Amino acid sequence: MSLSILAIESSCDETSAAVCVDGKILSNIIATQAIHAEYGGVVPELASRAHIQNIVPVVDTAIKKANISLANVNAIAFTQAPGLLGSLLVGTQFAKSIALALAKPLIAVHHMQAHVLANLIIEPAPQFPFLCLTVSGGHTQIVLAHSPLNLEVLGETIDDAAGEAFDKTAKLLGLPYPGGPLVDKYAQSGNPHAFKFAQSQVPELNFSFSGLKTSVLYFLQKQPPNFAAAHMNDLCASIQYTIITMLLHKLQLAVKQTGVKRLCIAGGVSANKGLRHAFETLGKEKGWETFIPPFEYCTDNAAMIAITAYYKYRANQFSDLSISPSARASW
């Protein structure tokens, strides 16, 4: 008998639904919210309202594309934490409603655990154990994956996440939100060594990106008007080079400490072309096995929730209807 799971992701500003059957993703539908660009960042109230509007058509499309019946789904999975509380609440309550109406098991999934396990969606998937550098708008972590449900956080950011650093420095350059992808775009034509910015030094395998933002801010304040526009490519390339250097430096330390040479990246920032190229290049130099999820599984998506729920189902890790979403939850 096949095992089919409907998964819902609503942690921030993407409403997504996916169907997983026997560990294979049959559909992964994502509705984005363009309205936040007008405000220079995600507005929680608007995000939750958009989730309410999007969730029914997104789930319906995912079910139809997978060519299955909702009544035949074995379990309902959802992102329980972390994220914007209002956004999480929409997905949580919708998942609970379906589970209650159809008498289906409920599976709560941690968003960051799901980002790591996105590497298991596409073959060839990494064998365990592996190290994963998870980089997103809200989190930056180095995780040692012992098994699908045994993940150990070795280090994380003590202030801003890498994705936040990309977006906030982009704003200093006068780029619209979301600025991270634009920094990546302009960096392709720039000189990464044109300008030097601060790299914060923090203990062990942790990260800090607040010093980089301050360094860029003070640098730009000393420049003449229109400097950023005239040197956009080089500025973006230098900022991106600094962030990537900080990320990969810590990753190399993690390899040295653990002896694990099977490495993955995950999270929204893993869609960054500069990071993907630098990661693969370093991997070849060091003799690592490297894995990167396809772009559609890097940003927030329900497929990663579904694959995580698949392993949780097999381990009988279910939740009851009393579970609540959490904006900040440990693993």
- The response to whether 115 counts as a known ligand-binding position is yes
What is the Cα–Cα distance from 104 to 75, expressed in whole angstroms?
5
What is the Cα–Cα distance from 195 to 296, expressed in whole angstroms?
32
What is the Cα–Cα distance from 110 to 9, expressed in whole angstroms?
10
- The response to whether 184 counts as a known ligand-binding position is yes
What sign results for the dihedral spanned by CA atoms 331, 54, 297, 43? Answer: negative
- The response to whether 283 counts as a known ligand-binding position is no
Helices (H), 272-301: 273-286
Strands (E) located in 93-232: 106-110, 130-135, 140-147, 150-156
What is the Cα–Cα distance from 242 to 208, expressed in whole angstroms?
12
How many other β-carbons are positioned within 10 Å of the β-carbon of residue 88? Answer: 27
Name the token pair of 130: 């592996």
Is the Cβ–Cβ distance between 164 and 140 less than 8 Å?
no
Is the Cβ–Cβ distance between 320 and 100 less than 8 Å?
no
- The response to whether 87 counts as a known ligand-binding position is no
- The response to whether 54 counts as a known ligand-binding position is no
- The response to whether 136 counts as a known ligand-binding position is yes
What is the Cα–Cα distance from 23 to 307, expressed in whole angstroms?
6
- The response to whether 134 counts as a known ligand-binding position is yes
- The response to whether 58 counts as a known ligand-binding position is no
What is the Cα–Cα distance from 5 to 285, expressed in whole angstroms?
40
| Residues near 35 by beta carbon (within 8 Å), at least 6 away in sequence | 43, 46, 50
What is the Cα–Cα distance from 278 to 135, expressed in whole angstroms?
14
- The response to whether 13 counts as a known ligand-binding position is no
Is the Cβ–Cβ distance between 170 and 192 less than 8 Å?
no
- The response to whether 255 counts as a known ligand-binding position is no
Closest of 145, 114, 143, 141 to residue 127, by C-alpha? 145
- The response to whether 159 counts as a known ligand-binding position is no
- The response to whether 200 counts as a known ligand-binding position is no
Annotated binding site for substrate, which residues? Answer: 134-138, 167, 180, 184, 272
Known binding site for Fe cation: residues?
111, 115, 300
Q: Which residues are annotated as a binding site?
A: 111, 115, 134-138, 167, 180, 184, 272, 300
